[in-house]
Chain A
């Protein structure tokens, strides 16, 4: 992998971390609100169904996770096990795509 690609990965991980910081706070606040107000699953789905704002929020949240986690995994396996190279890059890319597809599928499911 070229040094430019490595720098872009680093930049993508930094930017995705910033997005995650905001998304995690909003997600936790929503969870706490739902628990404190005794919202049932049906009531929650009632609020998310057809709501484009929640759909956009979770699509962005999932995208940030799918970018951030695999780049971090790539570094962790390199430093912990010495696994480096094109095969590892491919493997973490697969993980990233899987996270994105599963996450977006879940976000679409609660959108209705």
Chain B
């Protein structure tokens, strides 16, 4: 049986990589590898997962330097000469081993006013939003985000500017800006504007390249830049 040489980050900020030999199996995912280490070699290894099928987004880690969902990443696709390096997501405080504190990520979602606020009550008629309307199409292109943090980990601007809201929060804001039912869009545009918001994006497109849902936060951020600039120039903000 062939073995996989796996380096796994252990500890918190002051930790180190520790090497493990894991039996290679057919159709093995990186999450299978981490689970094997915890169940058969070192039960103290901390990591997160839930659904195992790419729905929850909780198993995201850095695998050979790139943020990925480990449940949907086959070892055969990422191992280099039988070697894997598995680390926690970048740009988030480490809790232990492969577990990061996602609080800053979700706090920024809140800062970007990522919750819907409409004006209708349940006594009103349903709002009619045509599926082929331009704004609904913009929403469709961005709405499938499950908040895994892969884009946030891959973003250089978050690394250089810790106040930067990041791709996921801005992508969520973009879906709401295009939601014709929402009534708080000017507040939202103000919340995502400026040096810590959409205007800090350098269009590196790492978020777009790494998003497992094939969303392009870069496109949404570009839309936000235009929408905010237009609102400021017209004196609405």
Residue ranges of A at the interface with B (Cβ–Cβ < 8 Å): 1, 3-4, 6-8, 10-11, 75, 78-80, 84
Contacts and interface: CB of A to CB of B under 8 A. Distances in A.
Interface in B185-237: 190, 193-195, 197, 199-200, 225, 228-229, 232-233, 237
Given A3-B194, A78-B160, 7 more contacts: A7-B193, A7-B199, A7-B237, A10-B194, A11-B229, A11-B232, A79-B157
B161 interface: yes
A75 B164 CA distance: 12
Contacts of B229: 7, 10-11
A72 to B, nearest CB: 11
A79 B193 contact: no
Nearest to A78: B161
Interface centre among A3, A7, A78 (most CB of B within 10 A): A7
B237 A78 contact: no
Given A3-B190, A3-B194, A78-B195, A8 B232 contact: yes
A6 B199 contact: yes
A80 to B, nearest CB: 7
Contacts of A1: 195
10 contacts: A3-B193, A4-B193, A4-B237, A6-B195, A7-B237, A8-B232, A10-B225, A11-B232, A78-B160, A79-B157
A79 B195 CA distance: 11
The 8 A-B residue pairs whose C-beta atoms are closest, nearest first, are A6-B194, A79-B160, A3-B194, A10-B199, A3-B193, A7-B232, A11-B229, A6-B195
Contact of A11 (B200, B233, B237): B233
Contacts of B228: 7
A105 B225 CA distance: 35
Contacts of B195: 1, 6, 78, 84
A13 to B, nearest CB: 9
B33 to A, nearest CB: 35
Contacts of B225: 10
A52 B67 CA distance: 56
A75 B200 CA distance: 8
Contacts of A78: 160-161, 195
B117 to A, nearest CB: 20
Nearest to A8: B232
B155 to A, nearest CB: 12
Contacts of A10: 194, 199, 225, 229
Interface string B27-62: 000000000000000000000000000000000000
A7 B194 CA distance: 5
Interface centre among A1, A10, A79 (most CB of B within 10 A): A10
Contacts of A80: 160
A84 B161 CA distance: 10
A29 B168 CA distance: 43
A3 B228 CA distance: 10
A11 B199 CA distance: 9
Contacts of B197: 3
Nearest to A74: B195
Contacts of B157: 79
